[in-house]
């Protein structure tokens, strides 16, 4: 990984603008695939939140679904008990997930990599079991249904073909992405990358390492919670699997295939992963798992930076000429 | 409630013995090379399936099937170590996690493809069925047999590690791989051999555990947490620590499921987080 120790150039590049225009054009070009497209954006946002802690701050988490699930259940339970206004629901979900992330960060960020891995995994499993047990609130294994999400701005109803859902998701994801982009390009974001490269040196030059990590973990938690709430509101259903281990593991896979430490890595990875999954698992879910496993093994050996990592490396070379 | 305690303790110890048997290889390889091997459960699964095929399809005796399970898992471990694992020592934990998750997924898909997704039955020899009375407590013969085997193996391993030259090399390499290599110990070879042995023991544990843990293609993921937990709580690279952690976890898991069945797996996960917080470097903290 090449590290430039100056504030990154934060101007929007042409490729980025093209990316978001393309995302908007999906609405026109693939009107029958909007449900999948919304899933891609939501999962991409979730992957972006993991990228903040993994790609930028260097924390490997195997339990990031804990925050996603907290957000999904918060939005779901609110909508079920009469608070169906989507935007305030999103905010509430983000706050709840940020609270969970903040509280757990103090235990999750202790120790070395392996301990962190285990503690994040443990917290994820604990929340899963809690949701499973609190069936009165969460619906347990059956999931949480009959949510009543109100019309967006009181005008646009969430239709069955997912048109409102897609535009709503796209707008929220874009806004949150801009916030994340701003964070990454700020001195705070630069200090996170410094911590990823060498926590000791950052501490030695006076950076409050632990506080920075808690802060980014909390921010990432809030973003993951918003992604979870988006999923709950647009599908009007929350199942236990929002907290499952495989959601955390798949997320890690997407992010790494897309390229960690690169803002678009999560979105690209999620698009590739979900489209491939929806095509291939139609043939046979078992084969999908096999090929996914093989792809991971090959990626570790041959493409350590992921797909967008390779593109980024090329871009940087071009830029330095 | 309390009258069931001895029985619960006994089952917990039997369960803990299995956890120890499967996790010990993981513990030593983790201690040796700091390699995070999430696919360790897959080797146990290989052993389990080899045992099922040998007893039910080939009609071999149970004892022979156990040896075959050990051998198959050990060979799989040796081959994969030589071809793939070896190239990832010293890579970032993330790469190791991804690689071993990939391996786990492939093993699950392969097992589903070959054997189907159902639970596998096991045929135990007549002599290991039924109940017997030990010190006034009714206990299953098979579980007694399990504890016996694991105690024997654990003592054997302890002797190997503390009394032989090879054991001294393992201990030296765990303590400080660089210095050991500098002193002329072939750390790579030590690691290959322990990896092979550890995979074999996991395979044996998988075969012995069909009756207790069950066996289906999701085995490596389902028990991954338990194996990792034993290792992390026990402190990587120690036999005694691993044994103690396996027993604690086994007993708490069985007791939790018996006394508070509604809490399900909650007990074990809560215990894991608490233990990790109290002993961030393992139950028997190693002075460094």
Residue B147 forms part of a structural domain:
yes
Cα B122 to Cα A298, B47, B65, B141, B213, distances in angstroms: 36, 13, 11, 16, 12
Residue A105's Cβ-side half-sphere holds a number of Cα atoms within 13 Å equal to 22
- pLDDT tens for chain A, 321 residues: list them: 455 556 667 778 888 888 888 887 877 787 778 888 888 999 999 999 999 998 888 888 888 999 999 999 998 888 888 777 888 889 999 999 999 999 988 888 876 777 788 788 888 888 888 888 877 777 777 777 777 777 767 667 777 677 788 888 899 999 999 999 999 888 888 888 888 888 888 888 888 888 899 999 999 999 999 999 999 888 888 888 888 888 888 888 888 888 877 888 889 889 888 888 888 777 777 778 888 888 888 888 877 666 555 555 655 554 433
* Interface ipTM: 0.80
Residue of chain B whose Cα is closest to the Cα of A255: B98
Place of tokens 């409102």: A164
Q: Residue A32 belongs to a domain with what CATH number?
A: 1.10.3470
pLDDT at residue A252, rounded to an integer: 87
Q: Considering the entire predicted model, what is its pTM?
A: 0.82
CB B102 to CB A294 under 8 A?
yes
* Token pair recorded at residue B147: 């504890």
B30 to chain A: closest CA residue: A114
The per-residue pLDDT for A317 is 52
Residue A251 domain-assigned (yes or no): yes
In a domain? residue B125: no
CA angle in degrees (0–180, nearest 5) for B152-B61-B14: 35
Q: What is the CATH number of the domain that holds B103?
A: 1.10.3470
> Which of A297, A298, A303, A306 would you mutate first to test chain B, the one with the most B CBs within 10 A?
A297
Range of the domain at B229: 2-115+137-278
Residue A10 lies in a domain: no
Q: Is residue B31 part of a domain?
A: yes
Distance from CA of A127 to the nearest CA of B (A): 9
Longest dimension (CA), chain A: 62
Q: Interior CA angle at B28 toward B22 and B29, to 5°?
A: 95
Question: Best interface-test mutation with A: which of B31, B34, B96, B106 has the largest number of A CBs within 10 A?
Answer: B106
| A33 inside domain | yes
Q: Is A126 in contact with B266 (Cβ distance < 8 A)? A: yes
Q: How far is A299 from chain B (nearest CA, A)?
A: 8
Looking at the 3D structure of chain A, how many domains does it have? 1
pLDDT at site A107: 81
**B285 part of a folded domain:** no
Residue B168 lies in a domain: yes
Q: What are phi and psi of A185, to 5 degrees?
A: -90, 5
A203 located within any domain:
yes
- Report the DSSP beta bridge partners of residue B140: B131
- Which residues constitute the domain of residue A316? 26-320
Residues of B with CB under 8 A from a CB of A: 30, 34, 36, 84, 87-88, 91, 93-95, 97-99, 101-110, 112-113, 221, 225, 228-229, 232, 236, 262-266, 269-270, 272-273, 276-277, 280-281
List pLDDT tens digits, range B206-220: 998 888 888 888 888
**Residue A144 within any structural domain of the chain:** yes
Of B102, B269, B277, the CB nearest to A297: B102
* Contacts of B106 by beta carbon, 8 Å cutoff, 6+ apart: A289, A290, A293, A294, A297
Segment-wise mean pLDDT, segments of 10 residues, chain B, 288 residues: 75 90 84 80 92 88 91 94 84 83 90 85 77 73 88 88 87 82 86 89 90 86 84 77 88 84 74 74 50
């Amino acid at each position: 990984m090449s590290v430039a120790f100056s504030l990154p150039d934060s101007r929007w590049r042409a490729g980025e603008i093209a990316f978001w225009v393309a995302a908007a054009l999906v609405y026109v070009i693939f009107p029958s695939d909007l449900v999948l497209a919304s899933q891609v954006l939501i999962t991409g946002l979730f992957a972006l939140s993991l990228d903040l802690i993994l790609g930028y701050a260097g924390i490997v988490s195997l339990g990031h679904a804990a925050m996603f699930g907290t957000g999904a259940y918060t939005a779901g339970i609110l909508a079920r008990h009469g608070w169906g206004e989507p935007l305030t629901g999103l905010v509430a979900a983000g706050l709840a997930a940020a609270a969970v992330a903040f509280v757990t960060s103090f235990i999750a960020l202790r120790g070395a990599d392996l301990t962190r891995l285990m503690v994040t995994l443990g917290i994820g499993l604990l929340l899963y079991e809690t949701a499973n047990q609190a069936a009165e609130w969460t619906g347990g294994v059956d999931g949480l249904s009959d949510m009543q999400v109100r019309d967006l701005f009181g005008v646009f109803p969430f239709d069955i073909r997912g048109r409102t859902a897609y535009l709503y998701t796209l707008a929220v994801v874009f806004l949150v992405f801009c916030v994340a982009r701003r964070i990454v390009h700020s001195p705070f974001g630069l200090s996170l990358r410094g911590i990823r490269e060498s926590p000791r040196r950052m501490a030695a030059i006076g950076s409050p390492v632990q506080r920075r990590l808690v802060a980014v973990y909390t921010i990432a938690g809030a973003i993951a919670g918003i992604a979870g709430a988006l999923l709950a509101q647009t599908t009007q259903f929350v199942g236990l699997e929002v907290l499952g281990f495989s959601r955390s593991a798949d997320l890690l896979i997407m992010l790494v295939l897309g390229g960690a430490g690169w803002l678009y890595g999560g979105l690209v990875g999620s698009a590739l992963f979900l489209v491939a999954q929806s095509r291939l698992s139609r043939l046979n879910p078992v084969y999908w798992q096999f090929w996914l496993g093989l792809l991971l093994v090959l990626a570790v050996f041959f493409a350590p930076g992921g797909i967008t990592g390779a593109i980024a490396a090329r871009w940087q070379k071009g830029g330095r000429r | 409630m309390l009258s069931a305690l001895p029985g619960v303790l006994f089952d917990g110890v039997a369960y803990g013995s299995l956890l120890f048997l499967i996790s010990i290889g993981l513990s030593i390889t983790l201690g040796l090379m700091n390699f995070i091997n999430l696919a360790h459960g897959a080797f146990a699964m290989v052993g389990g399936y080899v045992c099922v095929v040998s007893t039910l399809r080939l009609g071999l005796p149970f004892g022979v099937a156990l040896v075959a399970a050990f051998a198959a898992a050990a060979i799989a471990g040796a081959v994969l170590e030589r071809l793939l694992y070896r190239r990832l020592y010293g890579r970032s934990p993330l790469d190791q996690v991804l690689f071993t998750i990939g391996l786990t997924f492939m093993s699950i898909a392969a097992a589903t493809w070959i054997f189907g997704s159902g639970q596998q039955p096991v045929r135990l020899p007549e002599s290991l069925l039924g109940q017997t009375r030990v010190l006034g407590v009714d206990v299953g013969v098979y579980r007694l047999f399990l504890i016996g085997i694991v105690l024997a193996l654990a003592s054997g391993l302890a002797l190997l590690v503390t009394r032989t030259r090879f054991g001294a090399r393992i201990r030296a390499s765990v303590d400080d791989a660089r210095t050991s290599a500098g002193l002329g110990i072939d750390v790579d070879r030590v690691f290959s051999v322990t990896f092979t042995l550890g995979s074999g023991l996991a395979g044996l544990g998988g075969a012995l555990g069909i009756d207790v843990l069950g066996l289906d293609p999701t085995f490596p993921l389902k028990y991954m947490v338990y194996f990792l937990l034993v290792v992390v709580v026990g402190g990587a690279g120690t036999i005694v620590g691993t044994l103690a952690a396996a027993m604690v976890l086994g007993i708490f898991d069985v007791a939790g499921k018996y006394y508070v069945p509604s809490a399900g797996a909650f007990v074990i996960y809560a215990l894991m987080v608490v233990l990790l917080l109290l002993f961030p470097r393992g139950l028997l903290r190693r002075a460094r």
